[in-house]
Every structure is written in structure tokens, then in C-alpha cells.
Amino acid sequence: MTMRAGAPAPHLLVVGIDGVRYDTLLAAQTPHLDLLAADGVLLPVEVHARNSTMSGPVWATVATGVYSDRHGVLGNDVHPAELREYPDFLERLRAELDDATTMVAASWFPIAGDHHCGPLFSSRGWLPDVDPETQPDVAAASDAADDDVAAYACARLGQEDVVASFVYFGEPDEFAHHKGTGAGYTASIERCDARVGRLLEAISARANSGGEAWTVVVVTDHGHVDNGGHGGDSTHERTAWMAAAGPGIGPHIGRLCHADIAVQAGKVFGLDFEGLDGVPFGHR
Ligand SMILES: [Zn+2]
């Protein structure tokens, strides 16, 4: 597409943070997400009835803009043939935007690689050297892996014109599974907020940041029960959330769904991704 001369160049960053309960998020100290919400919107997001409260199905919906009855990801183990019919929003953007550079970086290997239900993002992407789920202390390994993901993403955001990205942090989900949803879980969410802060700092420091219009979306996939665990239909498990800021995004938006992200990704660049289950932000 051709941008009007002088118009800010659109850019998109979507950050996924796995398994962050909405009530815990609100109680946690998250200054970077608070600023994002103040600039735009923060809303609880109900995991759609067509998705289970599992990571694979919901992240596949974030990637593709369709629910599990279409993309076929029903759990975390199987990579279904149907998913290949639905390119992720980054692949769709590359197909429409000449020479667009996109990025996926993730600490949960099925997001970006041939692991279990993955790749959930057809673009694939960068993974740390060590899969935290293979380590003896998964929570600690996820903390380290998320730091590696943040460092990789910040370096690329600083050095390249990455116009659209998906960056994934998994520590809170692994912490809750292995150690429950107490104070340590809250601290793992606060560390992810700090990682979001590093990404936003890398964006602000970009050489041409004044000539760019950034849309930033931060989203979780599901909550957790008190002892850690998800997959059921309790309110804590079904209640996810999304924070977003950027052109056209503000408190007038009353409802958001996971499938909307892929459609909004197109809208950011003036594109209409048709035939998906989501709608642009503010259209519900
Ligand atoms: Zn998850």
C-alpha cells in the first residue's frame, strides 16, 4: 500500500502473556500496562464459547482470527490440518505489504515451532535455545526464557523496521501451574509488565519513532483456578483480558474478543481481512 506523504507509518506490536487472571492483574503493580490502559483501553475478555480455556486454542484464535471450530486446535497437543488454512495475521500482512518485516518471538515453543500443537503462528519465529517446559524448575526457566524473548524482541525493534510483531511471555502460566496463584504468581505478572515496559522503551527509542503510529495490544489467553490450572469453565478460567492503545483506540470500546486482534491487525494497515470471526476494535 502507499501511505500519504508525511502520514505516520503504521506499526503494530501484539504481546501475549499466558494465563494471567484478571483479578490478579488488577491487584498487581503493573505501571506499564496501566499507562497503556490510560492511553487506550483495558477490558476483561470472555474466552469465547467456541474455544476451551486452553492455551493452544486461544493463541490460535489470536493468530488467525477464527475460533477452534474452524482452526481445529482443540488442546495443546495436536497440530490439526485445518489450522494450515488460516495464515496468521503477520503472514496476511506480509502478503499485502511489500517488503514488510514481521517478528514472532515466544517462550512457549508451540507458538512458533513444530512442537505439540504448533506452530500456532504460520509465520513461525524465534524461540529460546532451551525449552523451559523441559527444565526441572519450569517456573524459573520460564522467567529466564521470557527475559531472553524480551531481549531478542527489543534488539530487533531497535535495529530493524519491524512493522508488526507478536511477542509472547509464558512465565505467569507456568508459575500458576507449578506453584499456584499466590504472591509469587503476582510477582511473575509484575515481571511481565516490566518486560512490556522494555518493549515500549525500545519502540520509543527507535530512530524514526516520531514518524510512526504504533498500535500496541497486550492480551492473555485464559485465567487460572486458585490452585493453578485451567481448561474448565469457571469464571476465573473464562475471564481473560486485553489492553490496547493506538490510533482509534480508547474508552469508547466496550467489548473485545480474542478473534478481533487479527482483524484489527489488518485495519491498522488499512486492510480488510474478510471472512474471519473477529471484527475491528470498537465494532461490537
Ligand atoms: Zn495459556
Among candidates 265, 188, 268, 176, which has minimal Cα distance to 225? 176
Predicted confidence (pLDDT) per residue in 219-241, tens digit: 999 999 999 999 999 999 999 99
What is the whole-number distance in angstroms between the Cα of residue 178 and the centre of ligand 1? 13
pLDDT of residue 209: 84
Q: What is the pLDDT of residues 16-70, one digit of tens each?
A: 999 999 999 999 999 999 999 999 999 999 999 999 999 999 999 999 999 999 9
Q: 221 C-alpha vs ligand 1 centroid, how far in Å?
A: 5
**Centre of ligand 1 from the C-alpha of residue 222, in Å:** 6
Q: Locate cell 493463541: which residue?
A: 59
How many angstroms is it from 23 CA to the middle of ligand 1? 16
Yes or no: say if 185 and 177 are a contact pair by the CB < 8 Å rule. no
Helix (H) or strand (E) holding 66: none
Q: Name the residue ranges covered by the structural domains of the chain.
A: 10-268
User: 129: Cβ–Cβ under 8 A, 6 or more apart, which residues?
Assistant: none
d(CA 154, CA 196): 10
pLDDT per residue over 115-167, tens digit each? Answer: 999 999 999 999 999 999 999 999 999 999 999 999 999 999 999 999 999 99
CA of 227 to the centre of ligand 1 (A): 15
Q: Which residues pair with 46 in a beta bridge?
A: 239
User: From ligand 1's centre to the CA of 245, what distance in Å?
Assistant: 23
Tens digits of residue pLDDT in 259-269: 999 999 999 99
Cα–ligand 1 centroid distance for 29 (angstroms):
21
Class of domain 10-268: alpha beta
Give the list of residues 6+ apart from residue 17 with CB closer than 8 angstroms, or none: 168, 169, 170, 172, 189, 192, 196, 218, 219, 220
Query: pLDDT-derived band of residue 5, with 50, 70 and 90 as boundaries?
Result: low
List the one residue out of 168, 116, 120 whose CA is nearest residue 145. 168
Cα(141) to centroid(ligand 1), Å: 16
**The one-letter amino acid at 284:** R
* Residue 3 alpha carbon to ligand 1 centre in Å: 37
pTM > 0.85: yes
* CA contacts within 13 A on the Cβ side of 57: 19
CA 133 to centroid of ligand 1, rounded, Å: 13
- Give CA separation, 198 vs 52, 81, 168, 172, 201, in Å: 32, 37, 14, 18, 5
